[in-house]
Amino acid sequence: MIKKRSASLLTMLLIILMISGCATNQATNSTSSETPNPAVNDAKPAAQTPVELLVYGNVNHNASDFDNFFVAPIKKKYPYISMKLIMKDDVKPEELLASGTTPDIIYDSPPGLVNLQDLDMIMELDDYVKKFNVDISQYEPTAIDMVRLYHPSGKLLAIPLYLNFSALFYNKDLFNKFAVPFPKDGMSWDEAIDLARKVTRTSDGVDYRGLDPGVLITVSGQLTLSLANAKTGKAELNTDGWKKAFQFMENLYGIPGNRPDIKQRTNVGVRDSFFKSQNLAMMADWGINSVGQLGELYDKGVIMNWDMASLPYFKDKPGISRKVDAHLLMLSKSSKHKDDAFQVIKELTSKEVETMAAEEGQLPSLTDPAILRNYGKNLPVLKGKNMNVILNYKSAKQFVPTLFDPPTQTAVNTAYNQVYTGQKDINTALREAEEAANKAIAEMKSK
């Protein structure tokens, strides 16, 4: 164990040292002031000398994606700018800071924003938006509103690059097998549950389940349920909203034959039932994840007969899907090339680049319908599918995030598992979960 740990630490040290070398060898004659002059309009990068920007990423992009969606379009627009990527899986933010490495652009999803802000790693972008004439109204409003929630004064900390969507994916063969009508756009959850009852059965020795909503946050996000109160620093779990979410899950899994083993009640377990076993008729899931997996199957010659409908809604929130999910671009406070880095961010979210990415299956952050209509154009697996799910998508509002959300999410997940397995009733589970979360929060505050 000691030898393995030593080897791991040595590997991490080498990664950090190599990145540090790249960062310190960068040209230093770009604008390096922390706050730009907002009076300068449509400014050009200060230097044409070669500049290498370090992108620190925490999203699921491989080297090919980074080359196609980042490096190539930037090289076309700014030939003097090159980029390198380091993944958060290799070096944590705290380790990056301790090493003295200087990232220029940070690429992360919303949950990472709280920690990055707490570490004082990211810039406020409002002045840069003015300086470089960025039209914020072109971006999906719910994504911009979500980003502003992460700053106490509503400052802009990130620019959304890509979005995600949630949908009800369904296996057309199973509905045909049991002569049940396909799911349709605009269903309520009550209608979806009624449909699930009709396809949940045992046939030819195979148990078929009608519907799985996936993990608990599918529902809580759609209902905009907060985890902790940003002002009081206390957990908010013993509420009517969380009781409604728990009861909904129990009603759905209460359909005879629709309750899987608890080990299958994970994102991976649900997707395996839908894609591999194909004994699940309907699945609520993030679109980017499912389309990606369907694409992988297609490339292997496994052609699944599927389609998608809009995510069913709660009757008090008609037409509303899950909370907004986005890939975000941030400007590092430690960057020595802030103007160049922000110009890169602006170009990556331009209509030309977003259209190219949309054709390859990246959902754009721009609201231009012409770009949205190009989504998945080059993906054979999406040919003939219900693209109205994307064109008419409406995200739920984001609750105010806090540093205390992770331990609170753990507590509420544990609580639902206790309800699911019959160990506790809903009221008891949520009351005790709130107590457990507050204890964990107190421990965080004492450190």
pLDDT at 222: 96
pLDDT at 2: 33
Q: Which residue from 341, 277, 374 is spatially nearest to 56, judged by alpha carbons?
A: 341
Query: Which residues are paired to 169 by β-bridges?
Result: 283, 308
149-156 average pLDDT score: 94
419 vs 13, residue with greater confidence: 419
Summarised one tens digit per residue, pLDDT across range 180-232 is 999 999 999 999 999 999 999 999 999 999 999 988 999 999 999 999 998 99
Q: Which residue from 223, 194, 228 is spatially nearest to 211, judged by alpha carbons?
A: 194
Confidence of residue 125 (pLDDT cuts 50, 70, 90): very high
pTM score above 0.85: yes
pLDDT at 7: 37
Mean pLDDT in the chain?
89
Summarised one tens digit per residue, pLDDT across range 388-399 is 999 999 999 999
- Pairwise CA distance, residues 282 & 408, whole Å: 29
81-100 average pLDDT score: 89
- Non-local (6+) Cβ contacts of 140 within 8 A are 160, 163, 324, 326, 365, 366, 367, 395
Confidence of residue 102 (pLDDT cuts 50, 70, 90): confident
pLDDT at 46: 52
Residue 369 clears pLDDT 50, i.e. is over it: yes
pLDDT at 91: 87
b/e map of 71-103 (b: 16 or more CB within 10 Å)? bebbeebbeebebbbbbbeebebeebeebebbb
Residue 103 clears pLDDT 80, i.e. is over it: yes
Domains of the chain by start residue, with CATH: 36-164+325-387 (3.40.190.10), 166-321+397-446 (3.40.190.10)
Rg for the chain, CA atoms, rounded: 23
- Pairwise CA distance, residues 338 & 70, whole Å: 17
Summarised one tens digit per residue, pLDDT across range 248-298 is 999 999 999 999 998 888 889 999 999 999 999 999 999 999 999 999 999
CA angle 158, 162, 167 (to 5 degrees): 125
Residue 40 clears pLDDT 50, i.e. is over it: no
